[in-house]
């Protein structure tokens, strides 16, 4: 029996709170300040393509780092007892319950040239290392803020990987790398896709992080869009056009990622 | 007029008070006109006040809780919420979705809101305490005659620097372009303030709308970029206090609070003149409770209330009666209440045309996005890898499709 | 050896996650307002916090909105995920694409567009709009975490339960729900986390009577964020940590008792 009706409240919700606002954004993006039709905003957003690529590039790096960090961790968690799993998962989420701004300030305190990390290294006569106001610091900020959203989906998929499958593979003569490649990774693929989506997508459109940890001299697309809405000139039209462009690019990226997942399992691939 | 500003201030305060004392009893927190404040008692009125964060005295340290006292006195309930920037306030007001009764925009934002008919003209008869406002702030360039706004606080943009590291006296904005302080300079991250400094350094007006002058300012800001450690706003506090940077422009009142945490800090006024900002109280055009809102504004200008507020905020007060209640130490502080000479050189922001605002944002993006982007390293390899992956998967996809077709057949 | 390796790896990641939290808590005891400059130990920010109604009210609003929004989003989202999973591929793909949109859309764009929508609909800004907006941006996270669990699940299990005489509801409660539970829990956790910490969307849909803690904190950035917020964060942190430890101890004890009973029965 296949129940589809349970999705109907969501579909209604979606139509009201996602499609209509999106329509508003689309409408704004093709009008000028006076409300006349114009494609000027899209033309103008072309000029910012380096900023867009820059953001995508950083988000890709952050996503890859998150995946590499989270994968063994999630696997580890999934092999622990149920109580431990629960505690560990909450421990992963707890830092995210502190305010984002305060966490970022704290990173500034840690990374600065007179910061705690450099002072620690100073005790051994090392450094100071230049950490803050670099692109590395921006990536670190992204990894820090989105790592839990990689760990969680990976973990929730891995808990249900049947341990006997792994044992069977071992009995059949697989070494641990082969087990990983032929059993664990394919079985955890749905979690990987979800995790990558949840990290990559918000990381592309992030702002504040680049401003606070990156020194503000290298704009990301999120900062640029924010500036259209809350900058000197209230320019929601250009901001909307920029975010439409961003959305299309991300959907293309997602389609590419979904290809890794194998053809049958594709989801969210309109393009 | 080389008169000391403090003297002018005291003199003006005494005159105003003498004048107003003929109409009203002397100031003290006991409101001068109890009847005035009791008009709305028992009517269940509430007003919505929308203010900057940390911008009203909320009690403690022997100061009063302003909103609480107001409710106690008038029986008008205060819904109090906060915003972080003028632009957020504007975006929210522009949508028309919420009704606020009292807002606190800054100079240029007041002018913009006036132009777009978003503010209600004040009925000055309901705000007798407006008479305490320093005559200096009666004819502000953003709102001549204070028709729509009553000044709440003011201040100047100053250069704050570490006197242990910078020994020579600072005279000019040019110091922010000094190569010797490379990577020790902080700069405003918002376009209007950053352009204001560049324009002033070039000797132009803060409010210049001339494309050529703006172009020059842009080039100057680009020139500065290699020397700038980071573009910041509120992070200036922590960075200056922790000796992370040597020099930064910021607001005078905040500079004082930084100096309290770090004794090595000092303040300089550049000779080219600076920005004098005013935050004022206004009533939005769609307010339902204008009279109650005016009562609130009047209450904010009660000498004791205004004095407590200014002590809490740390900026400068336009209210002369409140100034008189402040500690002598603050009254004599030349950073918070600079000399007339400095004030005469400084300029207020006004609203710029839409065109100029747009241009400024574009130019600012140009400054921030100019060279040194993260792309410089490794963009090409990533694109190649992605392309390889894509083609590989595409081939895999085709192969599987073919296989599937074969199976189907 | 490998156990030691895995433990130290978990330790390293946790250090990375908690390093800034410790800094944040450390500076809640700082005497001055500074967040980078230690001037001496003091408890004054804690004392001030308990007299600051604005912060405490905002905190209560934040909790209320986060709990309501994440619970509703979890229920709606789980139901939606099940429905979508059972759809044909093409409609499923289309719906999932739209589900991604709120995640893709920069928060500020979504905040402004929701603000305009509520104005169009004539809903007054307040708690209701806050909760509606939060549910909207929470839903994708719930759906995205439940979907992989459904895909992973063996759908014959459900049919087997039906064949054995379960009603569809029973089959769902006894078979499907336990299978996808980890996904639901992680979805809920993520939704709750996003709700707690959202500023951009909340700002544009909040009204004149209620504001959430992030709005209050961001509004302080003109002057500087008061260490009272650090103090509040420290308290939240310690309380949650204590609860976690207590629950864990309790679990361990119960497990031991169970084992003892089993041993006795043998």
Question: Residue ranges of the alpha helices (H) in A47-181?
Answer: 49-78, 82-93, 100-111, 116-123, 135-158, 163-171, 176-179
Question: Which of B87, B91, B244 is closest, CB to CB, to A112?
Answer: B244
| B155-275+357-369 placed in CATH 3.40.190.10 | yes
CATH 3.40.190.10 in chain B, residues?
5-153+277-337, 155-275+357-369
Counting the structural domains of chain A, the total is: 1
Identify the band that residue B13 occupies on the pLDDT scale cut at 50, 70 and 90: low
Q: Which of B49, B78, B98 to mutate to test the interface with C (most CBs of C within 10 A)?
A: B98
Within 70-129 of B, beta carbons closer than 8 Å to C belong to 79-85, 88, 91-92, 95-100
Within 108-127 of C, beta carbons closer than 8 Å to B belong to 112, 115-116, 118-119, 124-125
Which two structure tokens, joined as six digits, stand for B54?
Answer: 């940390």
C242 and C163 inside one domain: no
Evaluate whether A55 touches A255 at the Cβ level (below 8 Å): no
**pLDDT tens digit sequence for C106-115:** 888 899 899 9
Counting the structural domains of chain C, the total is: 2
Question: Which of B80, B97, B261 is closest, CB to CB, to C37?
Answer: B261
Mean pLDDT across the stretch B89-113? 92
Q: Which chains touch C (3 or more CB pairs under 8 A)?
A: A, B
Mean pLDDT across the stretch B375-387? 63
Residue A182 lies in a domain: yes
Identify the band that residue B12 occupies on the pLDDT scale cut at 50, 70 and 90: low
Contact call for C14 and A91, based on CB within 8 A:
yes
What burial letters (b/e) apply to A171-195, b meaning 16+ CB within 10 Å?
A: eeebeeeebbeebbeebbbbbbbbb
Residue A210 lies in a domain: yes
Evaluate whether C220 touches C67 at the Cβ level (below 8 Å): no
Identify the band that residue C38 occupies on the pLDDT scale cut at 50, 70 and 90: confident
C217 and C238 inside one domain: no
Q: Which among A235, A222, A24 has a CA at the least distance from the CA of C118?
A: A24
Q: Which residue has the tokens 């979907």?
A: C147
Q: Is the pLDDT of residue C237 over 60?
A: yes
Q: What share of chain C is helix, strand, coil (3-state, %, to 5)?
A: 85, 0, 15
Contact call for C34 and B238, based on CB within 8 A:
yes
Contacts of B190 in chain A (CB under 8 A): 231-232
**pLDDT tens digit sequence for B48-60:** 999 999 999 988 7
By C-alpha distance, the chain C residue nearest A199 is C103
Residue C266 lies in a domain: no
Query: In the prediction, which pLDDT does A152 show?
Result: 92
Q: Which among B43, B33, B34, B23 has a CA at the least distance from the CA of B292?
A: B43
C126 and C86 inside one domain: yes
Contact call for B244 and A113, based on CB within 8 A:
yes
Q: Which range (A251-255, B196-200, C258-262) has the least confidence?
A: A251-255
Q: Which chains touch B (3 or more CB pairs under 8 A)?
A: A, C
Q: Does A39 touch chain C (CB under 8 A)?
A: no
Decide if the complex's ipTM is over 0.85. Answer: yes
Residue A215 lies in a domain: yes
**pLDDT tens digit sequence for C118-156:** 999 999 999 999 999 999 999 999 999 899 889 888 878
Q: What residues pair up with B60 in beta bridges, in sequence order? A: B63
Residue C213 lies in a domain: yes
Euclidean distance between CA atoms A157 and A153, whole angstroms: 6
Contact call for B365 and A233, based on CB within 8 A:
no
By C-alpha distance, the chain A residue nearest C87 is A4
What burial letters (b/e) apply to C175-204, b meaning 16+ CB within 10 Å?
A: bbeebbbbbbbbbbbbbbbbbbbbbbbbbb
**pLDDT tens digit sequence for A107-136:** 999 999 888 999 899 999 887 888 888 888
HSE, side-chain direction, 13 A CA sphere, residue B323? 29
Within 126-145 of A, beta carbons closer than 8 Å to C belong to 144
Query: In the prediction, which pLDDT does A1 show?
Result: 46
Q: What is the third-level CATH fold of B5-153+277-337?
A: D-Maltodextrin-Binding Protein; domain 2 (3.40.190)
Domain harbouring A223, CATH code: 1.10.3720.10
**pLDDT tens digit sequence for A200-229:** 988 988 888 888 898 887 788 999 999 999
Residue range(s) defining the domain that contains residue C234:
1-42+230-256
Contact call for C222 and B95, based on CB within 8 A:
no
Evaluate whether A129 touches A121 at the Cβ level (below 8 Å): yes
Contact call for A99 and C21, based on CB within 8 A:
no
Q: What length is written for chain C?
A: 266
B44 vs chain A: nearest CA distance in angstroms?
35
Residue range(s) defining the domain that contains residue A110:
49-260
Contact call for A106 and C21, based on CB within 8 A:
yes
**pLDDT tens digit sequence for A170-181:** 888 888 888 888
Identify the band that residue A257 occupies on the pLDDT scale cut at 50, 70 and 90: low
Residue C208 lies in a domain: yes
In degrees rounded to 5, what are phi and psi of residue B228?
Answer: -80, 130
Euclidean distance between CA atoms A53 and A220, whole angstroms: 9
Contact call for C106 and A222, based on CB within 8 A:
yes
C16 and C71 inside one domain: no
- pTM of the full structure: 0.89
C250 and C220 inside one domain: no
Identify the band that residue B32 occupies on the pLDDT scale cut at 50, 70 and 90: low
Strand-pair category, B63-65 with B58-60:
antiparallel
Q: What number of other Cβ atoms are within 10 A of residue A141's Cβ?
A: 25
């Amino acid at each position: 029996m296949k129940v589809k009706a349970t999705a109907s409240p969501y579909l209604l919700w979606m139509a009201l709170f996602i499609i209509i606002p999106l329509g508003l954004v689309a409408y704004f993006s093709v009008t000028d300040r006076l409300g006349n039709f114009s494609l000027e905003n899209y033309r103008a957003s072309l000029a910012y393509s380096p900023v867009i690529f820059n953001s995508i590039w950083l988000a890709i790096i952050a996503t890859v780092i998150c995946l590499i960090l989270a994968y063994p961790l999630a696997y580890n968690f999934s092999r622990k007892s149920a109580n431990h799993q629960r505690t560990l998962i909450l421990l992963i989420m707890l830092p995210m319950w502190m305010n984002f701004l305060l966490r970022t300030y704290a990173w500034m305190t840690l990374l600065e040239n007179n910061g705690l990390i450099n002072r620690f290294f100073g005790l051994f006569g090392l450094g100071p290392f230049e950490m803050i106001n670099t692109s590395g610091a921006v990536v670190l900020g992204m990894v820090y803020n989105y790592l839990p959203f990689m760990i969680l989906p990976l973990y929730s998929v891995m808990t249900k990987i049947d341990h006997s499958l792994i044992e069977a593979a071992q009995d059949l003569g697989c070494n641990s790398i082969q087990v990983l490649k032929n059993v664990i990774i394919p079985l955890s693929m749905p979690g990987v896709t979800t995790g990558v989506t949840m990290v990559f997508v918000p990381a592309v459109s992030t702002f504040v992080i680049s401003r606070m940890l990156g020194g503000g001299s290298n704009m990301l697309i999120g900062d640029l869009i924010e500036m259209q809405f809350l900058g000197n000139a209230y320019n929601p039209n250009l901001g909307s056009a920029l975010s439409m462009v961003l959305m299309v690019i991300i959907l293309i990226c997602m389609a590419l990622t979904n290809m890794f997942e194998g053809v049958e399992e594709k989801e969210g691939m309109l393009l | 007029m080389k008169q000391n500003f403090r003297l002018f201030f005291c003199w003006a305060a005494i005159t105003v008070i003498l004048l107003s004392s003929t109409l009203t009893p002397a100031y003290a927190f006991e409101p001068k006109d109890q009847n005035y404040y009791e008009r709305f008692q028992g009517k269940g009125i509430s007003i919505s006040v929308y203010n900057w964060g940390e911008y009203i005295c909320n009690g403690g340290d022997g100061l009063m809780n302003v909103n609480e006292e107001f409710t106690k006195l008038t029986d008008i309930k205060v819904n109090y919420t906060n915003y972080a920037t003028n632009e957020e306030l504007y975006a929210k007001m522009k949508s028309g979705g919420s009704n606020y009764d009292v807002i606190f925009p800054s100079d240029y934002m007041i002018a913009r809101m006036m132009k777009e008919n978003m503010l209600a003209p004040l009925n000055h008869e309901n705000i007798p305490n407006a008479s305490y406002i320093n005559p200096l702030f009666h004819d502000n360039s953003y709102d001549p005659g204070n028709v729509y706004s009553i000044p709440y606080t003011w201040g100047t943009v100053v250069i704050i620097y570490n006197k242990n590291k910078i020994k020579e006296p600072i005279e000019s904005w040019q110091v922010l372009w000094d190569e010797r302080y490379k990577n020790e300079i902080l700069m405003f991250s918002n376009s209007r303030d950053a352009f204001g400094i560049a324009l002033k350094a070039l000797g132009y007006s803060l409010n210049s709308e001339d494309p050529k002058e703006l172009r020059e300012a842009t080039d100057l800001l680009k020139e500065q970029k290699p020397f700038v450690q980071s573009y910041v706003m509120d992070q200036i506090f922590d960075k200056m206090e922790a000796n992370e940077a040597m020099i930064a422009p910021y607001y005078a009142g905040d500079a004082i609070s930084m100096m309290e945490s770090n004794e090595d800090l000092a303040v300089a006024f550049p000779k080219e003149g600076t920005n004098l900002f005013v935050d004022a109280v206004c009533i939005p055009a769609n307010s339902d409770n204008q009279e109650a809102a005016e009562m609130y504004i009047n209450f904010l200008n009660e000498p004791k209330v205004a004095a407590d507020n200014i002590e809490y905020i740390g900026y400068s007060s336009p209210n002369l009666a409140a100034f008189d209640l402040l500690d002598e130490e603050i009254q004599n502080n030349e950073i918070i209440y600079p000399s007339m000479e400095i004030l005469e050189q400084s300029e207020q922001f006004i609203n710029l045309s839409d065109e100029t605002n747009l241009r400024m944002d574009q130019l600012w993006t140009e400054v921030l996005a100019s060279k040194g982007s993260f792309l410089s390293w490794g963009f090409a390899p990533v694109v190649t890898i992605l392309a390889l992956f894509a083609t590989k998967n595409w081939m895999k996809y085709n192969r599987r499709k073919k296989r599937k077709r074969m199976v189907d057949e | 050896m490998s156990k030691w390796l895995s433990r130290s790896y978990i330790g390293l990641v946790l250090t990375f996650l908690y390093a800034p939290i410790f800094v944040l808590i450390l500076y809640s005891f700082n005497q001055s307002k500074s967040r980078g400059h230690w001037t001496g130990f003091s408890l004054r920010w804690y004392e001030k916090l308990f007299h600051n109604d604005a912060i405490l009210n905002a905190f209560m609003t934040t909790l209320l909105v986060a709990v309501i929004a994440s619970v509703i989003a979890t229920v709606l989202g789980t139901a939606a995920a099940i429905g979508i999973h059972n759809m044909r591929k093409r409609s499923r793909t289309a719906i999932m694409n739209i589900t991604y949109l709120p995640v893709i859309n920069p928060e500020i764009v979504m905040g402004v567009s929701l603000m305009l929508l509520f104005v169009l609909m004539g809903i007054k800004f307040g708690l209701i709009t806050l909760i509606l907006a939060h549910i909207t941006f929470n839903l994708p996270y719930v759906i995205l975490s439940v979907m992989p669990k459904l895909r992973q699940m063996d759908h014959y299990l459900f049919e087997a339960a039906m064949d054995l005489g379960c009603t569809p509801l029973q089959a769902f409660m006894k078979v499907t729900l336990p299978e996808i539970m980890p996904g639901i829990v992680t979805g809920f956790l993520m939704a709750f986390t996003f709700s707690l910490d959202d500023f951009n969307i909340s700002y544009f849909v909040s009204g004149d009577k209620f504001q959430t803690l992030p709005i209050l904190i961001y509004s302080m950035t003109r002057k500087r964020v008061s260490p009272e917020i650090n103090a509040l964060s420290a308290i939240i942190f310690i309380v949650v940590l204590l609860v976690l430890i207590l629950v864990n101890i309790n679990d361990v004890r119960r497990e031991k008792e169970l084992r003892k009973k089993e041993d006795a029965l043998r």
